[in-house]
Structure 1
Amino acid sequence: MESRLRVHGHPIQPMLVTFPFGLFVSATVFDLADLAGGPVFLGEVGYWTAVAALVAAALATVAGMVDLWDVPGGRTRRTAVTFNLVNAAMAGLFLLACLIRAEASNRGASGTLLAVELVALAVGAVGVGLGSRLVRQFESGRAEAGTFEAIGGVDATVELSTHRL
């Protein structure tokens, strides 16, 4: 299966999915530092990092839905649907935390919100596993990594020609 959304032959959705997950992890680290007694602004940074992650998650979800359109039925489709649902669940938990924090004056984290974020990251870890399974399933027909064919369609055959001067 080929992705509809590609950049230089590479599917966009696996690239996009790394941004929200990384930002969600960063937001959780900022919130943990805030609760551990760090400077007050860390809670605010954690909040806005989570908001940026939600925007990135929305973009990754759109790309995932476009790719899901062409996924063949069977195990691969079930894995792709589950992958998208798991990522949506992670984003939903962070959205809930952001909505609760939006009303606070300093937007700092609490122990309960940190627990919700940790649960969301655990859900996201399941998504990472499903995503790696999808990449293996979609790329099974492609060239093995480490070969010339895998780095952009370089033909491994070399034609030798002799020229007389």
Structure 2
Amino acid sequence: MSTPSQDGKHPVSPLLAGPYGHPLHPLLVTVPIGAWVASLVFDIGSHVAGRGSVLADGSLWLIAVGVLGALAAAGVGFLDLFAIPTGTRAFRTGLVHMSLNLTVTVAYAIGFAWRRGGYGHSASVGAGQLALSAVSLAVLAVSGFLGGKLAYRYGVRVAAESVQREGLEPTSATPSIPLPTTRK
């Protein structure tokens, strides 16, 4: 029988959420994060570069890639959330993390629709659209902090320390490398 602290470490569905110690959610979140950061860079570049419409168009499609990636990450993120015992700090943190991520995804979907309405008509991204992306990215950073808290502080979907220990113990085949010492 597992203890509450072990429940959040094991996937609800290893096939869908990744096996024990190898969750898919952290891998999948790199797609929306990367796409949305790049879209903000393109937004800013659309005001600086001579051919801003090309960068504005690129930003539009990066936002779309980010929304699709966020939906994929949310699917496995839900499975990870279901593995956490309810009534715990980790579960409450997971709910806030999920809520912020869904809010950001909806904001970017709205931003995509807003930009799509003026697709090909503007030389650069509008100030309101740029502000929506910047605020959404800031909220995403807060959510990412909470996701890090889930993994690194609460150990959600992270292998137990007894399993981790094997990777940190020296083996007979690998000589230990002495660390440099500091002199006082």
TM-score, normalised to structure 1, is 0.83
1:128 to 132, 135, 144: 144
CA deviation map 1:33-61 (0-9, x unaligned): 00224422110000001100000000001
Change (3 A) 1:23 1:144: farther
Unmatched segments (≥5 aa) in structure 1: 160-165
- 1:30 aligns with 42
CA deviation map 1:51-98 (0-9, x unaligned): 000000000011111111111121010011111111111111111110
2:161 to 139, 142, 150: 142
- 1:163 aligns with none
Residue identity opposite 2:95 in structure 1 = V
Higher relative contact order, chain-length normalized (CA < 8 Å, sep 6+): 2
- 2:119 aligns with 105
> How big is the shift at 1:141?
3.2
Equivalent pairs counted in the alignment come to 154
- 1:63 aligns with 76
Point out the more displaced range, 38-47 or 112-121.
38-47
**Equivalent residues in 2 for 1:90-101 (5 A)?**
90-101=104-115
TM-score, normalised to structure 2, is 0.75
- 2:182 aligns with none
Identity of aligned residues (%): 25
Q: Residues of 2 paired with 1:143 and 1:129: CA distance?
A: 26
> How big is the shift at 1:158?
4.9
- 2:99 aligns with 85
Unmatched segments (≥5 aa) in structure 2: 1-7, 174-184
Q: Residues of 1 paired with 2:94 and 2:129: CA distance?
A: 29
SS of residue matched to 2:97: helix
Conservation of the 8 A alpha-carbon contact between 1:35 and 1:110: no
> Could you list the runs of 4 or more consecutive aligned residues of structure 1 that deviate by over 3 angstroms after TM superposition?
155-159
Q: Residues of 1 paired with 2:36 and 2:73: CA distance?
A: 14
Change (3 A) 1:46 1:143: farther
Residue identity opposite 1:149 in structure 2 = G
